[in-house]
Homo-oligomer: A and B are copies of this chain.
């Protein structure tokens, strides 16, 4: 099973690595880090990742994972990325995104008439791109699976693992990732964080 992890300038690292760590350890999986060419790609805080595959080389991945980015507006103008997403989506088994990656899927046409989620700051932008905006953490609509902001990629990928390999395997993956989250605060959603923290966040 070929899983394509799409890379682009200033993507958010955890968006990509949450699903990668959850899915790529399975013996059936061949992970590909796909970009326009093989030049090093830097995520938004500087992590340098070396692509393993170019868009031209991988035209029929089984699963696509699209991470988000704080620079999502610029990414929407990345013609090579968006046109590759449009080209590969018809033949995937699953097309997935994390965070603002859903905006890229929407731009590519993959979310037409689909329910999808995104980072809480970009719900309006997703609606403007034609998707039906959901606010759940993980949303399945047909073969399209979207996760909410950043850390939601782990939850998204565990749910996908259960579809791919069954619940027992997904539970095993969760145990080996020791995914028994204990956040030190309860501020992980705008509703929980409250209006003051949300206002400060939006000013950044």
- List residues of A whose CB falls within 8 A of some B CB: 12-14, 17-18, 20-21, 24-25, 29, 31, 33, 40, 44-50, 52, 99, 119-120, 137-138, 148-152, 154-155, 158-159, 162, 167-168, 170-172, 174-185, 187-190, 192-193, 197-198, 200-201, 204
Contact = CB atoms under 8 A, between A and B. Distances in A.
B155 A175 contact: no
A201 to B, nearest CB: 5
Contact of A46 (B31, B119, B200): B31
Contacts of A158: 183-185
A139 to B, nearest CB: 12
**Chain B CB within 10 Å — which of A25, A167, A170 has the most?**
A25
Contact of A176 (B17, B178, B201): B201
Contact of A183 (B45, B155, B176): B155
Contact of A152 (B14, B151, B178, B187): B178
Contact of A189 (B25, B170, B180): B180
